[in-house]
């Protein structure tokens, strides 16, 4: 081998280790979650809203898990991102998530799970978003709470006029794992140069309506598998593309 | 002494010194924390490959298990109710005792052969060994503490912060590390060296009464208390009438199925001599009473079919079965030094 060829190979190996190569063909995506109650921005504690029955209520806590995110490309290829995020209205930073290692290209839709898959419900002690310190975990009947909506309503028949919907459960017949697919208005482009951005609008009022309108005097709380799927079927349509 | 001799002597001395310090330090060896599956036992349900056993983590688990720091007022440790001499059940206590002298609703179960269980608690509400401690820790009538508080207390404690640093080489103390170390300690509590096990292996003999008891046991009890774990991990209604002051519906609370009401997990019978009182609410103090219950014919409609099949047992048969049950006491497990309180020498 001539010295020139040796140098050539040397440079080649230095410049292209696998990791660098992989990073170079992949981009970043930022997803913003914007919380609303119907047409107005969600404001914890102080704002008063009305449900389908005209009963007034406020919201003091609104949080939920997003996991198993998939991006579907123009050619139908699916990019799967094994990540878990706890979106919490009260924590500003939680409402913007950054996904990395997305292959460059054009994507037409996004699909994600509201909640935590059964495997991770059975996995024992975990950290990060799935740490039980986040208070989204049932200890007496193991499992993650997928969505929490709490507040008060004068119409509530529960102690302290509370309204409280803690929804979770990964086992049939009370399986509350729901998957949402959102189509982009125009294809989302992932480039290597800059972070792409999508905004998702989340209407918390949907927890309490369509298909089942919740009457606070009849169902002020849901804390276990009873009626849980009813609420999960309600909130499945709370997501849409938009700011 | 020549130079070589001095070096050899110094090395010997330091090895001796190091092993002596290790003993003082309560440290465990790799061999201490090896998982040995007893002969004839099935593959465990709990998978240590996701929580690799290490002497340091086991030691941390033991320290936490015996430390009341896990309770709100530092009054109650895991060991307060799970005592080593009773195969980690609570000897002579029908219902669990917690913080501020509060009384629970169920009998403290033994901790043994946990890695072969598929669920935990009398109602099977917990699906992973690592998660189980969260129940007694956060229960207002047991330890009444929160995870964030425990993490704060451990961070402020010099002994713990040093131990976590020694194990993980960083300063992070989180719930995953706490719970996984506890799972290493309780997961290695394996009882498989009773006289029954030795008899099975041809290393011990049974009296005629014990042999008769084993034959009867196989015919009358082993469909639920399946060998070698002496449980089939199922939930059953054993026919004892519900205590109306507790109104505990057991498994039904977990599944919301009426057909599961008043069913409880079939407990293992290993070390049963030490785990009295018996049943999920600890209503029977003596094995004799348990046998009386199972051999009676006045069961109710929801009593498990296997129990209805037992039929009347005569006095001799009951005594024989009890004689056999006493062979399930595992003295090696009950006196295993690895599971002793690190604060008591």
Residue scoring higher pLDDT (B102 or A194): A194
pLDDT surpassing 90 at residue B277: yes
The pLDDT of residue A6 is above 80: no
User: What is the C-alpha separation between B176 and B133, in angstroms, rounded?
Assistant: 12
Is residue B241 included in any domain, yes or no?
yes
Co-location of B55 and B163 in the same domain: yes
Using CA atoms, how far apart are residues B27 and B305, in angstroms rounded to an integer?
Answer: 50
How many angstroms away from the CA of A21 is the closest CA of chain B? 30
Do residues B207 and B182 share a domain? no
Same domain for B38 and B187: yes
Which residue, among B51, B218, B45, B37, has the nearest Cα to B124 in the 3D structure? B45
A14: confidence class by pLDDT, cuts 50, 70, 90: very low
Q: What residues form DSSP beta bridges with A144? A: A137
Least confidently predicted of A3-7, B121-125, B147-151, B157-161: A3-7
Report how far residue B336's alpha carbon sits from residue B252's, in angstroms, rounded to the nearest whole number.
37
Are B250 and B319 contained in the same domain? yes
Whether B139 and B164 map to the same domain: the answer is yes
Cα–Cα dist B191/A99, whole Å: 47
The C-alpha angle B58, B64, B66, rounded to 5 degrees, equals 105
Q: What is the mean pLDDT of residues B119-139?
A: 96
The Cα B25–Cα B21 span in angstroms is 6
Q: Is B183 on the interface with A (CB under 8 A)?
A: yes
- Rounded Cα–Cα distance for residues A193 and A212 (Å): 45
Task: Name the nearest CA neighbour of B212 among B313, B289, B330.
Answer: B313
CA neighbor of A74 nearest in space, from A36, A104, A119: A104
pLDDT of residue B1: 52
- Total tally of structural domains belonging to chain B: 2
Query: Is the Cβ–Cβ distance between A225 and A168 less than 8 Å?
Result: no
Q: Is B176 in the A-facing interface, judged by CB distances under 8 Å?
A: yes
Please, are residues B266 and B224 in contact by the beta-carbon 8 Å criterion?
yes
Q: What is the pLDDT of residue B299?
A: 80
Q: Tell me if B55 is assigned to some domain.
A: yes
Please report whether residue B206 resides in a domain. yes
C-beta separation of A82 from A66 below 8 A? no
pLDDT tens for each residue of B145-188: 999 999 999 999 999 999 999 999 999 999 999 999 999 999 99
Please report whether residue B223 resides in a domain.
yes
Task: Identify the residue among B48, B115, B124, B134 best suited for mutation to test binding to A, counting A beta carbons within 10 A and taking the highest.
Answer: B134
Verify that B229 and B287 share a domain, yes or no.
yes
Residue at which a domain ends, from B191, B206, B233: B191
Q: Specify whether B117 is located in the same domain as B237.
A: no
- Is a pLDDT exceeding 50 seen at residue A21? no
pLDDT at A5 over 50: no
Q: What confidence tier does B103 reach under pLDDT thresholds 50, 70, 90?
A: confident
- Residue B134 to residue A131, Cβ atoms within 8 A: no
Q: Which helix (H) or strand (E) holds B103?
A: none
pLDDT in tens, B309-345: 999 999 999 999 999 999 999 999 999 999 999 987 5
Query: How much is the pLDDT for A1?
Result: 44
d(CA A164, CA A24): 46
**If contacts are CB pairs under 8 Å, which of residues 31-60 in chain A contact chain B?**
none
Residue B6 lies in a domain: no
**Closest C-alpha to B273, from B235, B321, B328:** B328
pLDDT higher than threshold 60 for residue A3:
no
**Are residues B165 and B71 part of one domain?**
yes
How many CB pairs (< 8 A) connect A and B? 61
How many angstroms separate the CA atoms of B189 and B338, rounded? 9
pLDDT tens by residue, B10-64: 776 666 655 555 444 568 999 999 999 999 999 999 999 999 999 999 999 999 9
Within-domain flag for B334: no
Give residue A16's pLDDT. Answer: 40
pLDDT score at A67:
98
- The CATH number covering residue B240 comes to 1.10.760.10
pLDDT, tens digit (0-9, with 9 covering 90-100), for B194-234: 999 999 999 999 999 999 999 999 999 999 999 999 999 99
- Please indicate, yes or no, if residue B24 is contained in any of the structural domains: no
The answer to whether the Cβ–Cβ distance between B125 and A142 falls below 8 Å is yes
pLDDT band for position A20 (cuts 50, 70, 90): very low
Answer for the pair A92, A44: CB distance below 8 angstroms, yes or no. Answer: no
Interface test with A, best of B152, B256, B257, B260 (most A CBs within 10 A): B256
Q: What pLDDT was estimated at residue B296?
A: 82
Its pTM stands at 0.89
Q: Which chain B residues have a beta carbon less than 8 Å from that of A222?
A: none
B38 and B105 share one domain: yes
Confidence of residue A25 (pLDDT cuts 50, 70, 90): confident
The whole-angstrom separation of Cα B107 and Cα B276 is: 9
Does the N-terminal peptide bond of residue A211 adopt cis geometry, omega within 30 degrees of 0? yes
Q: Is B138 near chain A, with CB under 8 Å?
A: yes
My answer on whether B153 and B225 are in the same domain is no
Q: What is the pLDDT of residue A203?
A: 98
Q: What is the largest CA-CA distance in chain A?
A: 87
pLDDT at A12: 42
Cis ω before B277 (30° cut-off from 0):
yes
State residue B18's pLDDT score.
57
C-alpha distances out from residue B310 to B279, B293, B297, Å: 18, 11, 9
Task: Give the pLDDT mean for B61-74.
Answer: 96
Interface of A with B in 153-172 (CB under 8 A): none
Three-state SS across chain A? CCHHHHHHHHHHHHHCCHHHHHHHCEEEEEEEEEEEECCEECCCCCCCEECCCCCEEEEEEEEEEEEEEEEEECCCCEEEEEEEEEEECCCHHHHEEEEEEEECEEEEEEEEEECCCHHHHCCCCCCHHHCHHHCCEECCCCEEEEEEEEEECCCCCCHHHEEEEEEECCCCCCCCCEEEEEEEEEEEEECCCCCEEEEEEEEHHHHHCCCCCCCCCCCCEECCCCCHHHHHHHHCCCEEECC
- Which residues lie below 8 Å from residue A174, measured CB to CB, with a gap of 6+? A225, A226, A228, A229, B256
Tell me which residue range forms the domain holding B101. 29-191
Tokens, residue A2: 């001539």
Same domain, residue pair B112 and B164: yes
The whole-number pLDDT of residue B186 equals 98
Determine the residue among A130, A138, A139, A223 to mutate to test chain B binding: the one whose Cβ has the most chain B Cβ atoms within 10 Å: A139
- Angle of CA points A149, A150, A155, to nearest 5°: 115
- Report the interhelical angle of B287-295 vs B315-325 (nearest 10°): 130
What pLDDT is stored for residue A31 in this prediction?
98
**B274 and chain A: CB distance < 8 Å anywhere?**
no
Q: Is B278 helix (H, G, I), strand (E, B) or coil?
A: strand
Residue B181: name the closest of B142, B137, B129, B143 by CA: B129
* pLDDT tens readout for residues B226-249: 999 999 999 999 999 888 888 999
Average pLDDT, chain B: 92
Q: Note whether B128 contacts A225, CB cutoff 8 Å.
A: no
Question: B143 lies in a domain?
Answer: yes
> For residue A42, is pLDDT > 60?
yes
Instruction: Mark whether B187 and B318 lie in a shared domain.
Output: no
Which residue of chain B is at minimal alpha-carbon distance from A139?
B135
Q: Which helix (H) or strand (E) holds B341?
A: none
In angstroms, the CA B11 to CA B7 distance is 6
């Amino acid at each position: 081998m001539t010295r020139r060829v040796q140098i050539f190979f040397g440079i080649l190996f230095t410049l292209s280790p696998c990791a660098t190569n992989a990073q170079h063909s992949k981009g970043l995506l930022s997803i913003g979650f914007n919380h609303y109650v119907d047409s107005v921005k969600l404001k914890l504690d102080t704002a008063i809203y009305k449900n389908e029955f005209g009963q007034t209520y406020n919201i003091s806590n609104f949080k939920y898990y997003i996991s198993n995110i998939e991006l579907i490309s123009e050619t139908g290829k699916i990019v799967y991102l094994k990540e878990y995020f706890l979106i919490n209205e009260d924590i500003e930073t939680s409402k913007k998530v950054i996904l990395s290692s997305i292959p460059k290209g054009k994507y037409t839709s996004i699909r994600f799970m509201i909640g935590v898959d059964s495997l991770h419900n059975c996995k024992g002690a975990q950290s990060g978003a799935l740490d039980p310190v986040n208070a989204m975990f049932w200890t007496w009947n193991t499992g993650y709470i997928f969505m929490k909506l709490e507040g008060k309503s004068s119409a509530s028949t529960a102690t302290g006029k509370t309204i409280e919907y803690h929804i979770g459960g990964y086992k049939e017949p009370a399986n509350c794992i729901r998957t949402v697919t959102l189509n982009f208005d125009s294809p989302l482009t992932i480039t290597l140069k800059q972070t792409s951005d999508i905004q998702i609008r989340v209407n918390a009022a949907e927890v309490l309506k369509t298909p089942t309108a919740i009457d606070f005097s009849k169902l002020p709380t849901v804390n276990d598998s009873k009626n849980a799927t009813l609420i999960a079927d309600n909130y499945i349509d709370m997501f849409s593309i938009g700011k | 002494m020549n130079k070589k001799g001095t070096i050899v002597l110094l090395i010997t001395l330091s090895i001796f010194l190091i092993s002596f310090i290790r003993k003082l330090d309560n440290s465990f060896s790799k061999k201490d924390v090896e998982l040995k599956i007893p002969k004839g036992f099935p593959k465990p349900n709990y998978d240590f490959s996701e929580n690799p056993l290490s002497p340091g983590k086991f030691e941390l688990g033991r320290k936490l298990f015996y430390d009341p720091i896990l309770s709100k007022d530092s009054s109650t440790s895991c060991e307060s109710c799970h005592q080593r001499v009773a195969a980690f059940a609570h000897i002579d206590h029908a219902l669990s005792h917690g913080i501020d002298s509060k009384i629970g609703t169920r009998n403290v179960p033994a901790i043994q052969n946990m890695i072969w269980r598929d669920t935990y608690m009398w109602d099977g509400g917990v699906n992973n060994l690592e998660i189980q401690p969260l129940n007694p820790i956060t229960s207002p009538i047991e330890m009444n503490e929160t995870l964030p508080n425990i993490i704060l207390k451990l961070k402020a404690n010099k002994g713990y912060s040093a131990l976590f640093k020694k194990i993980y080489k960083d300063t992070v103390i989180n719930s995953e590390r706490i719970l996984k170390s506890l799972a290493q300690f309780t997961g290695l509590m394996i009882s498989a060296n009773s006289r029954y096990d030795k008899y099975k292996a041809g290393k011990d003999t049974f009296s005629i009464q014990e042999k008769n008891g084993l034959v009867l046991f196989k015919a009358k009890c082993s469909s639920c208390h399946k060998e070698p774990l002496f449980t089939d991990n199922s939930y059953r209604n054993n026919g004892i009438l519900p205590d109306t002051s507790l109104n505990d519906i057991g498994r039904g609370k977990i599944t919301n199925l009426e057909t599961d009401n008043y069913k409880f997990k079939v407990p293992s019978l290993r070390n049963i001599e030490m785990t009295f009182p018996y049943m999920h609410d600890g209503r029977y103090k003596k094995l004799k009473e348990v046998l009386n219950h199972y051999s009676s014919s006045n069961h109710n409609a929801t009593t498990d079919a296997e129990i209805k099949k037992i039929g009347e047992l005569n006095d001799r048969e009951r005594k024989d079965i009890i004689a056999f049950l006493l062979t399930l006491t595992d003295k090696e497990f009950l006196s295993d030094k690895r599971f002793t309180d690190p604060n008591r020498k």
